[in-house]
Amino acid sequence: MPLSKASSRRRFLRYVIGSSTATVAASWLWPFSNAANASDDLEELCLQYPFNSQCENYIPGVAALDEAEMPYLEEATLATAEGGDRLLAAGLDKPVYLVIDDSSAFANYAISSVCTHFGCTVAWEPTAQEFACPCHGSRFDAEGQATRGPARQPLERVTVVLKDDQVRLVDRTPEETPPE
């Protein structure tokens, strides 16, 4: 039996009013469901626009920790480090090597200690100026590029942020690509 025009209009109006009510309710609830990610949003904002006024006192990432689980401080570390050093740092899920460049300053990136072949932890060998994987013999140069297999991919890089004498690690690929 076909619907009458009045019944069809009522159904359409119920649909429009119900959809509008649901949309308004969802827009009111949206800020509350997003409150848990507010710090992630601020971190993303401050990484992309570090000179934004909201980022004046904000320090992104997590502290880079030395072997004694003390935070690396920029000034104190650079006073004892030399150009070309690679310093093991904790703080993220995986350890990384902080890079001291040739001008004795921190690079804007750190090199992951996880071998791209099988996931073993590579070690920095300062005399050879390379990373060595103890599991299968892969070798990586000082910038993390694979020089001897079986690993073919370079070691991953993470972003290093320096602010207020703190060395911080951010688990994302650096914006600027370091030399290869």
127-166, pLDDT tens digit by residue? 889 999 988 889 999 898 999 888 889 999 998 888 888 8
The proportion of the chain whose per-residue pLDDT surpasses 90, expressed as a percent, equals 14
**Inter-residue contact 178 to 109 (CB < 8 Å):** yes
Tell me how crowded residue 160 is: count the other CB atoms within 10 A of its CB.
Answer: 22
Beta bridge partners of 109: 159
Q: What is the pLDDT of residue 8?
A: 79
Q: What Å distances lie between residue 125 and 84, 97, 119, CA to CA?
A: 12, 12, 18
50-61, pLDDT tens digit by residue? 667 777 777 777
The domain over range 62-170 is classified in CATH as 1.20.1250.20: no
Q: What is the pLDDT of residue 15?
A: 83
Phi-psi region of 42 (alpha: psi -120 to 50; beta: other; left: phi over 0): alpha
Task: Give the residue ranges of the chain where pLDDT is below 70.
Answer: 1-6, 28-40, 43, 47-51, 176-180
Question: What are the residue ranges of CATH 2.102.10.10 in the chain?
Answer: 62-170
Q: What is the pLDDT of residue 91?
A: 85
Query: Residue 40 belongs to what H/E stretch?
Result: helix 38-48
| Closest by CA position to 113, among listed 84, 82, 128, 134 | 134
